Amino acid sequence: MFSSKMQEIQKNEVVVTGIDAFVLRIMLAYIYTGKIKNLTVPLAGDLLFAADKYKLKGLKTACREYLKTNTSMENALEILTIGDLHDPDLKSFAIEFICKNCDDFNIACEIERKIKVFKNVPSGILGNWCYSSY
């Protein structure tokens, strides 16, 4: 990019769009060090998007593996969405996770739905009621 007569070399700058500045800093740190610090599920999703956009296989693999390792009933749908947008392997993993944990997943979804409907019921009582329904 910088050895050609492209706009970037003439202006001595590169414009990066569609990526949050924080995510860009972490992506650049990964490029230079090969490490990612303080990774979270949402950040891994954002980095996976950036890695996919800029064809950074190592970063994409690291994010995918982090997301697989940290999949839970609480974030399985979020990880499925990330996989659907950026990584077919992650999408397949999330679908399999949800199917294997279908009973627990349905209970968690039902609890969340009931909490929205019965906002004034104390959560401990509501939780016991939801689990006794199954």
The answer, yes or no, to whether residue 8 has pLDDT greater than 60, is no
The answer, yes or no, to whether residue 40 has pLDDT greater than 60, is yes
Please indicate whether residue 125 or residue 82 has the higher confidence score (pLDDT).
82
- Non-local (6+) Cβ contacts of 33 within 8 A are none
C-alpha to C-alpha distances, 17 to 31, 38, 42, 56, 101, nearest whole angstrom: 18, 24, 19, 16, 38
Q: Which pLDDT score is estimated for 15?
A: 80
The answer, yes or no, to whether residue 50 has pLDDT greater than 90, is yes
Q: Which pLDDT score is estimated for 12?
A: 72
Q: Which pLDDT score is estimated for 71?
A: 95
What is the Cβ-side half-sphere exposure of residue 34, based on CA atoms within 13 angstroms?
0
Please indicate whether residue 100 or residue 71 has the higher confidence score (pLDDT).
71
Residue (of 83, 21, 17, 14) closest to 48 by Cα position: 83
Structure token digits, residue 4: 């050609």
3-state helix, strand, coil in the chain (%, to 5): 70, 0, 30
Confidence at 1, pLDDT banded by 50, 70, 90: very low
